[in-house]
Amino acid sequence: MYPGAIAAVTPDKPAVIMAGSGRIITYRELDEESNRLAHLLRAAGLRPGDHIAFMLANHPLFLAVAWAAQRSGLYYTPISSRLQTDELAYIIDNCGARAFISSADLAAVATSVTAATPGVETRLMLDGTAEGFESYEEAVAKQPATPIDDECMGVDMLYSSGTTGRPKGVKIPSAHGPLTEPGTLLQLIQALFAPSADSVYLSPAPLYHAAPLRYSLTFQRLGATVVVMERFDPEQFLALVERYGVTHAQLVPTMFIKMLKLPEETRTKYDLSSLAYAIHAAAPCPVPVKEQMIDWWGPIIHEYYAGTEGNGFLYVNSHDWLRHKGTVGRSLLGVVHICDEDGNDLPPGEHGTIYFEKGGRFEYHDDPDKTRSAQDPRGRGWTTLGDIGRLDADGFLYLTDRRSYMIISGGVNIYPQEAENVLSVHPKVADVAVFGVPDEEMGEQVKAVVEPVSMAEAGPGLEAELIAYCRERLAHYKCPKSVDFREQLPRHPTGKLYKRLLRDEYWPASG
């Protein structure tokens, strides 16, 4: 299914509801808008396999732009609306975009990259115009609302959020098949989460991220309504579930933590009975946080582990998780291997790099070195996302941390995720990052940077309290030796922490 088929049956049904403004895009509007833009892109000379990029916040027409590329056989790259000139120019140039779409609220940065992106032939701007950009509304209004003659399936090419260096473009092969062809993700979602045309999917995260984008498009394939939050607010999320009878939502652990820290009277005043599937991924969830969420919402919480690369997919429901606390699931796509530095398989319980065998194929666009670094050293075709973990005897996977975040102190490997999980549930902690900083004797020592609930409490007293709290729950060598405080940590709205930005402050530039 796709918007055209849904529009033919239920044209006035909401395809998108914007949570803040209340603006509704019906399936007829979604279909016609995406058709017009598809015609415009064809008229501009773009053919299947070509590339467009767009930088939008959670805009009412975000998904229409994505559908235009999806039904035109194009590669399309949604770009974070938080990026600045150099980052934006790099992605547009690297992906080879021939068209670039943005909006008036982002005009300053959108126009700043024009000279650095000469390959872009078509520039469109929503909600206004700026130098070098044509009005999106005026341009698409001239185009037919009917489908283009050569409709075929396109695919996203998303870039990593740059938490560990230059963003990487994840390129997945596209066969340009028919729009009605069900993909792997649609089949997984149907099997696990029972979506239908009656479903209401709440998306609280930026749509330019892989999971919100792909799940929103997939639910629209089935004729469901997608409620889009312009930005996440914990109480507004609860209110939206009640207001729209939300059946499905996808979150990240930081959102759970923020909702759990709402006052009890706020958490309990909303009717959440319609919510049948609360899906989470993107980052490890501290065990106490998930226990509290299951106590609050019941066994409707579902977790998966996967990456933008699509090379594997693990899943666990609430019942299995309670029997294997801390797991991110068992594999439904790809065979999981835990390997040592030489690519040898490790037995259950041993920590090592997570590889997928027989998973989806991908490459890092225009970067063969990074593509090779994601492949196993013994040339068996296995691929990795760079995460460290272990399997238990039943085949459930437990994440340890990302390899790039590992701290080596006195020759001992320390995975900072353990200390982060402990400190994140302290009542005076709003957010926390743990990483290694230079130490003349030990090589590295463990540092915590904390965003306190109240900056008025930041200081030596709270530092000592947090270190003691961690040491009561973990081996001392895994706990921070010192704690610094910030008003806000550099966390992406998708829940990913820009830990690299924090680490760079503590390490010499030459290092």
Q: What percent of the chain has pLDDT over 90?
A: 74
Instruction: Report CA 178 to chain centroid distance, whole Å.
Output: 27
Q: What percent of the chain has pLDDT over 70?
A: 96
Sign of CA dihedral 299, 494, 181, 68: positive
Q: Is 298 left (phi over 0), alpha (psi -120 to 50) or beta?
A: left
- Distance, CA of 117 to CA of 474 (rounded, Å): 50
Q: 483 forms bridges with which residues in the sheet?
A: 448
**Mean pLDDT across the chain:** 92
Quick one: angle between helices 460-471 and 417-424, nearest 10? 110
CATH code of the domain made up of 26-172: 3.40.50.980
Strands (E) in 334-374, as ranges, are 335-339, 352-357, 363-364
- Distance, CA of 489 to CA of 429 (rounded, Å): 12
Q: What is the 3-state secondary structure (H, E, C) of 79-144?
A: ECCCCCHHHHHHHHHHHCCCEEEEEHHHHHHHHCCCCCCCCCCEEEEECCCCCCCEEHHHHHHCCC
pTM equals 0.84
Pairing, β 225-228 against β 14-18: parallel
Element (DSSP H or E) covering residue 418: helix 417-424
Calculate mean pLDDT across residues 423-447.
Answer: 88
Domain residue limits, the chain: 26-172, 406-506
DSSP for 324-338 reads STT--BEEEESEEEE
Query: Residue 54 pLDDT more than 50?
Result: yes
Which pLDDT score, from 0 to 100, does residue 401 have? 66
- Distance, CA of 54 to CA of 31 (rounded, Å): 19
For residue range 251-305, list pLDDT tens digits in order.
988 899 889 999 999 999 999 999 999 999 977 788 889 999 999 999 999 999 9
384-to-165, 306, 370 alpha-carbon distances in Å: 17, 11, 11
- Distance, CA of 461 to CA of 454 (rounded, Å): 13
DSSP for 374-413 reads TB-TT-SS-B--SEEEEE-TTS-EEEEEEGGG-EEETTEE
Query: Residue 511 pLDDT more than 60?
Result: no
- Quote the tokens at residue 394: 């039943």
- Quote the tokens at residue 495: 């829940």
CATH topology for 406-506 is: GMP Synthetase; Chain A, domain 3 (3.30.300)
- Report the C-alpha dihedral over residues 418, 340, 329, 202, rounded to 10 degrees: 70
- Quote the tokens at residue 452: 């306190």
Query: Residue 510 pLDDT more than 60?
Result: no
